[in-house]
Structure 1
Amino acid sequence: MAAILLGIALTVLDSTLLNLALPDITRHFGAEAHSAVWVVNAYQLATLGLLLPCAKLGERVGYRRVYLVGLAVFTVASLGCVLAPSLGLLAAARAVQGLGSAGMMAVNAALVRLTYPTAVLGRGLALNSVVVATSSVAGPSVAALVLSVASWPWLFLIQIPLGAALMWIGRRALPSSPPRLGGPPLRPTEVALNIAMFSLVFLGADAFGARHGGVAEGGTLAAALGLMAAGALVGWIYVRGQLRQPAPLFPVDLLRIPVFALSMCTSVTAFAAQTLAFIALPFLLLQGQGRSHLAAGLIITAWPAGVVVMAPVAGRLLSHYAAGMLGGIGQGVLAVGLLWLALLPAHPADWQMIVPLLVCGAGFGLFQSPNNHTIVTSAPLQRAGAASGMLGTARLTGQTGGAVILGLIFSVAGVQGGGPAIALGLAAALAAASASFSFLRLRAV
């Protein structure tokens, strides 16, 4: 579990680590701001497009092998990022890092399933949830700490000894799974269609957010819609072909299982709500309420603190209560906390922000472990890799959707106006929808 948890922390942290360093990277290479964004986008695109292929590869050759190879690729690519002589090569190295991250994230939950006995699997997934939740919000804080004493290449340099230590632990401790070399092959055309579908939708969503939110330069509404439409067309062709496969790369066979499909809907809407809130809160605290960066960071820490407290409790409650019930209650609590934040006065006291943020974190912690448990265990054991890959896919899809929605809200209501409060209110609505999907699982069992 040390190898599994450290690996997921490394990959999730890396996905948010560079946002704070982008201005420094832009100045270092003398590049335009919109070009520097590709240092982040290249990593996200590679991870999202290759999660499911890596998951299927794990089913064929063993989850341990895919995890360790992904870790090796990630670590070597970190050195490539340090030595990159140009912005283009830095973005290319980040894409290779994304490939390594996909290898680790795709089989993470499958390795947890092999590590824990079925009776206490919920506890293992609860630990996973705690690490994902805390790592996802710790990135900017870690980056700020490093950049206060060193230059941006150190953000990658510190990953090299961590990756090497993790490789040493993983080779000795990670469980093995028997390979299924006689199973359906990993077809290059399927992989290409999978990458194209996710890439086109991601690029369209990114351009749409830039067009409406003013987040980045360039991009038009027509181009954004065209990219998303092209992604939908590629996805239609791709999924139609997958329907005929016995163990498809895009797991339509698992999506035919009602509990699995509802769990995916629960996850996507939950992470969209979380992302809406996480991105809107700094604008609310810094620009709307005039707080310092230190004060804002300490206040926002209440959310992951709530997750850390509640997630282990949720893992134990799984042996007594249905996952659909726990997830629905958790998302209902999250919706209450988000609505509470949206309705606060213009200049609340610190405790008035901290208490609803703790409520949000507790609700999310109560939801995440049971939901992940259902996704992993509702799939047959031989398809544990596909289920594990869909965990990461749902999270990244929800986060991308939440960012796009926020860009649209800010374009209409403004950043310093009522935009953040509207975003928090819409996040509450998404959390309520997630609760509904979760409760529906009680009838689907």
Structure 2
Amino acid sequence: MSVSSPTGPTGSAAASGPHAPPGSVRWALAGLAGAMLLSSLGTSVAQVALPTLAEAFGASFPAVQWVVLGYLLAVTSLLVAAGRLGDLVGRRRLMLGGLAVFTGASLLCGLAPGLWALVAARVAQGVGAAVMMALTMALVGGTVPKERTGSAMGLLGTVSAVGTALGPSLGGLLVTGLGWRAVFLLNVPLAAATWAIVRRQLPADHPHPTTASTIRFDHAGTAVLAATLTAYALAMTLGGGPSTTLNLALLTAAALGALLFVRIEARTAAPLLRPALLRRPGLGAGLTTSALVSTVMMTTLVVGPFHLSGALGLSAAVSGPAMSTGPAVAALTGIPAGRLVDRLGAPAMTRLGLAVMATGCAALAVLPASSGVPGYLAPLAATTAGYALFQTANNAGVMADVDSDQRGTVSGVLGLSRNLGLVTGTSVMGAVFAYAVGTGDLATAPPADVAAGTRTVFAVAAALSAAALLVAASATRRERPGRA
């Protein structure tokens, strides 16, 4: 797969500089891993502080939810724009700016005098995180030799899983020991150290004289896409269900926004996202499978707590460590998965990861509740290992042959596909589970009904994984020499 685009003055400016010297590659990867860890922690660490925030500010739970939603909406709506801007002005330069914004916003979060000041600071923190998420993978191409790309992607996947798993437990310790402000203030020294490493170790952006007239940014497309994604994310998180007026209004706005965005991109001279880019078989398949797989993985997070407590009767003290099995497996699998990708190639490992995921979900769909905790955790571990292998291989495959002046954009779109899958999975797979259980009050549902709901939702997850496998296999066949 080769993603091509016109090369102009700004493209040269955005092109990756030479790879970092061998002695500094590890430090450069440490900087990128730090950015990935911070953005992952930003998503997961604040969840556990919500009850404390509601008490501290005397606010309702729907109000304090905006501490999480503000961050999520900022990240989701700005990923593509951040990636494109990095292509135009220089990815290292913009990464440093994103880290600076994240650092300052984290300080403001920790010093916030009221709830809505905290929410505003969290939105600013999400802006910095969007830059970090969009550019981390794009910067790998200018930092790591091509034959080590898989290992680098595996490391970033491991760090992301560690951040996701560490967030709730670390947040709980900080809230209990130091108060809720420590949850956000902890980011300040970590982000400052990451900024220093990135500034010192990442290769400089390829120098090229630019002027305001040579850098053209699609402001209209960016605004419409951000509004569209915000409407969709709100529909998936606050809409209240597919039949509510608010949900229908938000989904309608998102659909109209998507149509308007396509129309703008077809007419503008310097589009945010070139339609031809998404028609590339390898890229289109990579984005589609990423969204499907992220939807599947949300199933484990949405259903897991209810199955462990409702169907298997575990206490909260036991369910917590059991829920950490998935992130732990992902963290342990990431680096070995990267080495497999380097040795055997991204397409084959992408298909293998999807096949393992489909098998794990199918096992969860057929195993009875009488198989107990091992009968749930073993297929869950297989599913998560397959996900780690897929994620590493898919990221490496999508980014491998992208033209240098499009790496930021493609990395941003790849991150967006993953985020959309996560927010869709939270809503849709949660609705499937509730429907299969047969009651809206999952906490009081009979164990047999919860177990039946678990089997149903994982049957859907297995079907989605199988569909992703078919998409990946079809794309591979189309890209073989001699095939159309």
What TM-score do the two structures reach when normalised by structure 2? 0.85
Instruction: Give the secondary structure class of the aligned counterpart of 1:318.
Output: helix
Would you say 1:38 and 2:72 are equivalent positions?
A: no
1:171-250 matches, cutoff 5 A:
171-178=199-206, 181=210, 183-208=214-239, 210-211=240-241, 221-245=244-268, 248-250=271-273
Deviation of 1:120 after TM superposition, in Å, equals 1.6
- Corresponding residue of 2:313: 290
Q: Tell me how far apart the structure 1 counterparts of residues 455 and 169 of structure 2 sit (CA, whole Å).
A: 24
Structure whose CA Rg is larger: 2
Is the Cα–Cα contact under 8 Å of residues 218 and 271 in structure 2 kept in the other structure? no
Deviation for aligned residue 1:410: 4.2
CA contact (8 A) 2:36 2:133 kept: yes
Q: How does 1:48-197 map to 2 (within 5 A)?
A: 48-178=76-206, 181=210, 183-197=214-228
SS at match of 2:141: helix
Confirm whether residue 358 of structure 1 aligns to residue 381 of structure 2.
yes
Q: Is contact 1:305–1:361 with CA below 8 Å preserved after alignment?
A: no
Structure 2: how far apart are the matches of 1:306 and 1:166?
Answer: 26
TM-superposed CA distance for 1:396, in Å, is: 0.4
Check the 8 A contact 2:149/2:342 in 1, yes or no.
no
- Partner residue in 2 for 1:438: 472
Deviations 1:126-178 (A, max 9, x none): 11111223322332222222233232111001111111111221211122222
2:463 is the alignment partner of 1:421: no
What is residue 482 of structure 2 aligned with on the other side?
A: none
Q: Quick check: 1:63–1:176 contact (8 Å CA) kept in 2?
A: no
- Give 1:259's aligned residue: 282
**Cα 1:341–1:150, aligned 2, differ >3 Å: closer, same or farther?**
farther
C-alpha distance in structure 2 between counterparts of 1:93 and 1:317, whole Å: 41
Shift in CA distance, 287/140, structure 1 to aligned 2, threshold 3 Å: farther
Q: Give 1:224 shift.
A: 0.6
Distance 1:394 1:258, change over 3 A: same
List runs of 5+ in structure 1 lacking aligned partners: 213-219
Q: Is the 8 A contact 2:347 2:476 kept in 1?
A: yes
Deviates more, 1:403-412 or 1:262-271: 403-412
Q: Residue 246 of structure 1: CA displacement?
A: 5.9
8 Å CA contact 1:325, 1:438 repeated in 2: no
1:393 counterpart = 2:416 = yes
Q: Which runs of 5+ in 2 are unaligned?
A: 1-28, 480-484
- Aligned partner letter, 2:241: R
Contact 2:312 2:373 in 1 (8 A): no
Go from structure 1 to structure 2 and tell me whether the alpha carbon gap of 1:150 and 1:319 turns closer, same or farther (over 3 Å shift): closer
Identity value in percent = 33
The structural deviation recorded for 1:247 is 5.1
- Report the CA distance between 1:237 and its aligned residue: 1.0
Measured after TM superposition, the shift of residue 232 of structure 1 is 1.1
1:360-382 C-alpha deviation (Å, 9 max, x unpaired): 12211221111001111232121
CA distance in 2, matches of 1:36, 1:99: 19
**Structure 1: how far apart are the matches of 2:274 and 2:182?**
39
Question: Which sits farther off after the overlay, 228-237 or 260-269?
Answer: 228-237
**Residue identity in the other structure for 2:52:** D
How far apart are the structure 1 equivalents of 2:329 and 2:44? 20
Bigger shift: residues 380-389 or 198-207: 198-207
Q: Which whole-Å CA distance do the structure 1 matches of 2:45 and 2:116 have between them?
A: 19
Aligned residue for 1:340, secondary structure, equals helix
**Structure 1 range deviating more: 35-44 or 429-438:** 429-438
What SS does structure 2 have at the residue aligned with 1:115? coil
Contact 2:41 2:166 in 1 (8 A): yes
Q: Secondary structure at the match of 2:344?
A: coil
Q: Any conservation in 1 of the 2:220–2:264 contact (CA below 8 Å)? A: no
Alignment RMSD, CA only? 2.0
What is the CA distance between 1:251 and its match in structure 2? 4.2
- CA-CA distance at 1:28 after TM superposition: 1.1
Q: Which AA in structure 2 matches 1:133?
A: A
1:277 maps to 300
TM-score, normalised by the number of residues in structure 1: 0.93
Q: By how many angstroms is 1:81 displaced?
A: 1.0
